[in-house]
Structure 1
Amino acid sequence: MELAYDTGQRQADILSLTWTQYDGTAFMVQQSKTAAKVVASVSPEMRARLATVKRTGVQVVIAEATGQPYKRMYFSHEFTRLRKLAGLPDDLQFRDLRRTAATELGQAGATDDQIRAQTGHKSRNVVSVYVVPERAMSEGGQEKRRAWRKRGENDESKS
């Protein structure tokens, strides 16, 4: 779940990740739904976490109980179990991790193209479904606008 939250990838793509797809900073993913090729960068924190994982096979995500890759239904049950243990809302779905990753990228000031590069969305219209505009984004936009205006004022004063 942490890997999905960090990379913004779908459940099927997370479950199929192999160590050969990981170069130490990103996973090279060919998404199962769209066949989009994505370089899904991982955060420094996730890199450190992955460095501690004992590699017992080809798959990155394996069931701790069996040491084998998760079957889709078993993983869904595990997600539900962990969601309840964490006290998270019953309506939270695995795909919400993808939406949260995209939203946080937007809140942090990533452009639509930067978000698309991370998540593999093909169009900006689809990104707009995931990224929920909010106050911090508006304020960030105004801050960028103010900085842009200041640069223009400084350029004019030099002429």
Structure 2
Amino acid sequence: MVKVDLKGIAKVKAKGHTYWYAWRGGPRLVGQPGSPEFIASYNAAIEERRTPDKNRFRFLVASYKASADYKRLAQSTRDQWGKWLDRIADYFGELRVAQFDRPEKIRPIIRRWRNQWAEKPRTADYAMQVLSRVMAYAVEQGSVAGNPCEGIKRLYENDRSEIIWTDQDITRIKATCSVEIAHAIDLAGHTGLRLGDLVRVSWSHVGEHAMIIKTGKSKQRREAMIPITSALREVLARIPKRATTILTNSRRRPWTADGFGSSFNKAKIDAAMVEMDLHFNDLRGTAATKFYLAGFTEREIAETLAWEEESVKKIIRRYVGRQAAIKAMVRKMEVRE
């Protein structure tokens, strides 16, 4: 039998048998190495890879790499993301895109892929960030209904005590984002509501002096009671009443958390802020800072945001910058004097 050197072939041994694949994660080859059947199946696999099936995940990754969203990224980001996109295509490429519409089935597969870097949590989370962006693109294109990466917890836990959205950050993203995203940013920054509560808060929750809503994280056992300050009243006055919910998308329909998340990520890309370590929920820290600087006690902030009282000090340290806390204490001392 003639020996033929075919590049990229993967050899796998399992239960005493040897199997050959066109490439790692690729289709299984037929026959013995060097046989006509083997070479024919290899050539067929390579040809299919060159003209990928549009229903396969590999085609989705290629489409994202050719998209305007990807090309708007900084060159340094594209250099890093390109490597991860290749890894994603190699691992998930042969799966059908429709499989990603079944979160309960695909999430275990995604976690197994991520856990290859479990000992390097930052790397694992970076890998998930790139995959999540591909899935967000798929949602925008209508290929899948939701992003299965949403809800998978990050492995790396860092102290976000001084990570809040500053006025400059907010001005920057609002310069390029849609008016609907801008309304959400303003509302989050003045209420401190989590995204899940923010997208379902309705006009009926707005009273004369406060917004009151049962929080989703507490399974609606606790209420967030947000005082309506003059600044929050101005925000509410700017938002048109298009539905029962306060926030709506460009189609005048209530947001879903996944839909908003995808649009918000795109807004960060448009504002060239994708490399900044800012999450939407860091706007909770912005609101807490405003409440703290306005003279709210830690207990009052906990009651306002429906946080647990026994952990309020920890949460304030996490979300309210130390410099802001020092300034607040100095201001209180000056008032007493």
Task: Tell which deviates more after alignment, 99-108 or 7-16.
Answer: 99-108
The answer as to whether partners of 2:295 and 2:332 remain within 8 angstroms in 1 is no
Task: State how far apart, in whole Å, the 2-side matches of 1:100 and 1:136 are.
Answer: 11
Which residue of 2 is the match for residue 5 of structure 1?
Answer: 189
State the shift of 1:124 in Å: 4.3
CA distance in 2, matches of 1:70, 1:9: 15
TM-score w.r.t. structure 1 length? 0.77
Secondary structure of the 1:39 match is strand
Task: List gaps (5 residues or longer) in structure 2.
Answer: 1-184
> TM-score under structure 2 normalisation?
0.39
Partner of 1:70: 255
User: Structure 2 CA distance, aligned partners of 1:60 and 1:79?
Assistant: 17
Structure 1 residues 95 and 53: alpha-carbon distance in aligned structure 2, compared to 1, 3 A threshold = closer
Task: Give the number of aligned pairs.
Answer: 148
- Give the direction of change, closer, same or farther, for the CA distance of 1:147–1:17 in structure 2 (3 Å limit): closer
**C-alpha distance 44-72 of structure 1, shift in aligned 2 (>3 A):** same
Moved more, 52-61 or 31-40: 52-61
**Which residue does the alignment assign to 1:17?**
201
Q: CA deviation at 1:142?
A: 4.8
1:102-121 Cα deviation digits (max 9, x unpaired): 13322443210121122110
Q: Distance in 2 between matches of 1:146 and 1:54?
A: 41
Between 71-80 and 9-18, report the one with greater CA deviation. Answer: 71-80
Contact 2:199 2:254 in 1 (8 A): yes
Residue 81 (structure 1) aligned to one of 226, 248, 266: 266
Q: Does the CA-based 8 Å contact 1:4-1:10 persist in structure 2?
A: yes
- 1:91 & 1:139 partners in 2: Cα distance? 24
- Distance change (3 Å), C-alpha of 1:87 and 1:114: farther
Larger radius of gyration: 2
1:8-157 matches, within 5 Å, as: 8-34=192-218, 35=220, 36-64=222-250, 66-88=251-273, 89-131=275-317, 132=320, 134-142=322-330, 144-145=332-333, 148=336
Find the aligned partners of 2:306 and 2:280 in 1 and give their Cα distance: 17
Q: Which has the higher contact order (CA 8 A, sep 6+)?
A: 1
Q: CA RMSD for the aligned pairs?
A: 2.4
**Identity, % of aligned positions:** 23
Aligned to 2:46: none
Asked if the contact 1:26–1:39 (Cα under 8 Å) also holds between the matched residues in 2, the reply is: yes
